[in-house]
Every structure is written in C-alpha cells, then in structure tokens.
Structure 1
Amino acid sequence: MSIAETRSVVIERELAHAPEKVWRALTQQHLIADWLMQNDFAPVVGHKFKLRGEWGGVLDCEVLEIDPQRSLSYTWDFANDDPTYALKSVVTYTLTPSGTGTMLRVEQSGFHADQKQAYGGAHAGWKGFFNKLDTLVGTLD
C-alpha cells in the first residue's frame, strides 16, 4: 500500500433492537454522549460539531449525509503534531433491518499506511463503542 492509499476499519454487529431505537442513539446528543463521546451533534447535513474524548482529545466533525434510520456519515478529524496519530477520516453508519433487530455497520475510512497504531486503536475502539451502544439501546423505550 502506498502512502496515498488508505484503508478502512469496518465493524458489523447484529443488535436485537429496532432500527428506530438504534437511530436515536446515533443522532441524539445526550445518547451519543452515553456511548461515544461528549458532543454538540445535530442531525443536519453541513452541521459542524465536536466530539470530546475522556482522554482530552477533541475531534472536529461535519455531518456529510443523513438517510433517517438507514445511514449517517460525518467527518472525523483529529489534529496532532505526530502524523501517525493525526487523522482525517469519514465515519459512516449503515443500519439494515434484520429478523431480530438491526444489522449495524460502521466504516471509518482514511487511515494511511503509516498509521498502524491509529488503525488498530480505531478497530478496538469501535468494538468497545458498539458494546456501550448495544447496552444503551437496550434501555430505551
């Protein structure tokens, strides 16, 4: 893979919850804060928002696409003096109704060849986020 090529982290999980509930957790500020990070998200194409990690990092984001209860896409940019950690990426969630609830897929694209640690961290991070998301959605009415 050349430095210009990028790769993606893709995580899929079957959730035993209706797409409507999963969508709420992906698009409502207070729910996003419970499973992902503190934020000022709004489900409006072009809305710029920040995700604030417990580790002190801040991600600059912008909503790119919304197809209610089907897909959501936004930029996920993290500035850092070390280019192996700085990241300009796109996160896309895809919800597909299934017989038992929702198949949820997240793809974070934009990792360069020299960002192995960031790539591995995102892979592990999304699995953890999905665990929190699954638990949270199970508590929603």
Structure 2
Amino acid sequence: MTVTGGRHTIEVDEFLPHPAARVWEALINPTELAQWFMANDFRPKIGHDFTLDTARWGTTHCTVVAIEPERLLRYTWRNGPLDTVVTWKLVPEGSGTRLLLEHHGFDLGDPVQRRAFDGMNGGWRSLVLPGLARHLRRGEA
C-alpha cells in the first residue's frame, strides 16, 4: 500500500505465464472481461464511458483515461462514495508477464471508503487476479 496526496492505493503484483499480448486481450476484450471479471460494456478507447456490474455493490461507472497497448490500461472507478482510479501495467518477463495492479484514491479516514478499501484489497488478490489466471489457463487447453 502506498499513500499519495493523502489517498491510499491498493497494489497487487502477479506473474502470469502468458505473453503480454494474451494478457492484454483478456483485459480489453469485453467478452473475455465478462468471463473472469464482471459484465461490462467496455471498449478500449480513451474517453469511453463504460459500466461494470459489481453485483450486490451495484453498478460501477468508469471512463478509460489511458491506454498503451500491451503495456498500460487506466480507468476511473466511481461507485457510491468511491471516486478512484484502476491501473493495469503489463511488464514482459521472460516468456510471461508481470501484471501490476494499482487501485488508487481511497480516503481511509472515511469509514465507508475504509471498508471498500479493505474489501477490495482482498478481492483483487483472492478473487480477481486468480480469476484472470484461471481464465488464461483455460484458454491454453
């Protein structure tokens, strides 16, 4: 966890034994994204507004703010009191990819945002990234 400007960041570092091009496709293809992450209307275009169906937590409204193919994807994440930013960084490493996830902008002084931070910190680590890894493995079979 880092703190910038009084806001806290969830940081997750995961090695995936797949080339960056394959990991990238899983991050930007809306059909694939729905299989391992959430139902969505994502398009890989800067300025595109999209939603993620976060089930019991409602709809998350997002806007793509940065894209560097096979290297970086960044979008805003707005749901209730949260107005945060999610960044996916892909770094080729041998025949695989180091995936660095940052979810920035949590005010831990706010009890609602603290609960969201704690829940999402665990969720990114124990559900989302393992789900991506499983999805990529299934694609190999």
Would you say same fold, with TM above 0.5?
yes
Structure 1 unpaired stretches of 5+: 80-85
5 Å-filtered alignment, 1:1-141, equals 5-55=6-56, 57-79=58-80, 86-113=81-108, 114=110, 115-127=113-125, 128-140=127-139
Residue 99 of structure 1, CA deviation: 1.4
Which aligned segments of 4 or more residues in structure 1 are displaced greater than 3 angstroms? none
SS in 1 for 2:138: coil
CA 1:77–1:26: 2 relative to 1, 3 Å: same
Q: Is the 8 A contact 1:6 1:109 kept in 2?
A: yes
The structure whose residues are more often helix, as a share, is 2
Structure 2 unpaired stretches of 5+: none
Aligned residues: 132
Residue 124 of structure 1, CA deviation: 0.8
State TM-score, norm by structure 2: 0.89
Residue 34 of structure 1, CA deviation: 1.1
Q: Distance in 1 between matches of 2:61 and 2:15?
A: 29
1:100-136 CA-to-partner distances (Å, cap 9, x unmatched) read 4000011000000222211111111111100000111
Q: Is the 8 A contact 1:15 1:100 kept in 2?
A: no
Q: Distance in 2 between matches of 1:9 and 1:56?
A: 19
Root mean square deviation of aligned Cα: 1.3
SS in 1 for 2:44: coil
Alignment-mate amino acid for residue 105 of structure 1: L
State TM-score, norm by structure 1: 0.89
SS in 2 for 1:133: helix
